[in-house]
Amino acid sequence: MRRLDIHLKAGDRFDNVLSAVKASEPVDYYILDTEQKDRRLISVFIREGVEQVLMDNVQSALEGSNGWRISILPIEATAPKLEEATEGKQVKSQQATREEIYSDVATGARLDRNFIVMVILSTIVATIGLNSDGVAAVIGAMVIAPLLGPVLGFSMGAALGDDNLLKKSTLTLAAGIGVALALSLALSFVLPINLESRELMTRAEVRLDGLALAMAAGGAAALSLTSSQASALVGVMVAAALLPPGAAVGLFAGAGEWPLALRACLLLALNVAALILSALIVFRLRRIRPRSWIEQKNANRAVLLNALLSGFVLVASVALILYLDLGNKVSIG
């Protein structure tokens, strides 16, 4: 169960909002007069899965009005026990509201000092782990890498047609990858490259199973976010597709191993496109879209553009992978 607190002015629109609340068949609701004159608070207790409909209806009822706010609060427990929804009533799958998802994504896509520091620390650990063939160090770097936020932010921005979120997420993701590349390149002049490291050399192997990993990671990240599930472990999967290849590019480039650096760069580009595309697909399947039809039109255009761009990168990368594999087979034969 969730609780929605609706703060608004007492007036004509109050009746419209109250009608929307009653139409949602809430478990319970109450109305309070506040200390501020001409303002009221409606607290609505509603089953999980239908809060998005109520929020959309209330926002539509308050369209053009000012001085209102809706807050969502989780209910950890309630007594007496809440009866299961009777057969015939709508039972929807549990899903976070659009506003909750947007708030989480916007926070994770923020470019600030903490983000840069975490990228620096994770890159140092990843670079040392890759070069020393330390599996534990590479895994530890993926745990602390904060790259999940901007990836989901980009896909969410495309799903909603939100240019501000798209720009912010793009800047944050570019800054994170750029810092990882620059720092690993600088470390390559201090650390003698170890071409016998399995952890390092696997980041120069571009294969189709790596594409499947990135697609699964992006889809799982978006699904966990929309389902209000913990996404910490999913963040490790996303970081696994981005941070080690990025650190490998810097190490190979600093050592003058340009063919290996290009392969690692191809793997990085492939993973970025796969993560964004799969997350975008999940957002669309979960019906994460704007409320008004005008915003939906802009969102559809943004989704199409980003899907075509990501798809082009994926197709080009797969074609290059197949070409490289064919060249290796011919040279071996």
What percent of the chain is modeled with pLDDT above 90?
Answer: 19
**Residue 71, both tokens:** 């807050």
Whole-number Å distance between alpha carbons of 235 and 220: 9
Task: Answer yes or no: is pLDDT of 313 > 70.
Answer: no
Query: Strands of 69-74's sheet, edge to edge?
Result: 28-33, 39-46, 2-9, 69-74
**E strand or H helix at 30:** strand 28-33
Q: What is the pLDDT of residue 233?
A: 61
Counting Cα atoms < 13 Å in the Cβ hemisphere of 47 gives 18
- Model pTM above 0.85: no
pLDDT (tens digit per residue) in 96-153: 777 888 888 888 888 999 999 999 999 999 999 999 998 888 888 888 888 888 988 8
Which of 186-200, 239-253, 319-333 is predicted with the least confidence, judged by mean pLDDT?
319-333
Neighbouring-strand partners of residue 89:
87
- Give the position of tokens 């009221």: 40
Counting Cα atoms < 13 Å in the Cβ hemisphere of 310 gives 25
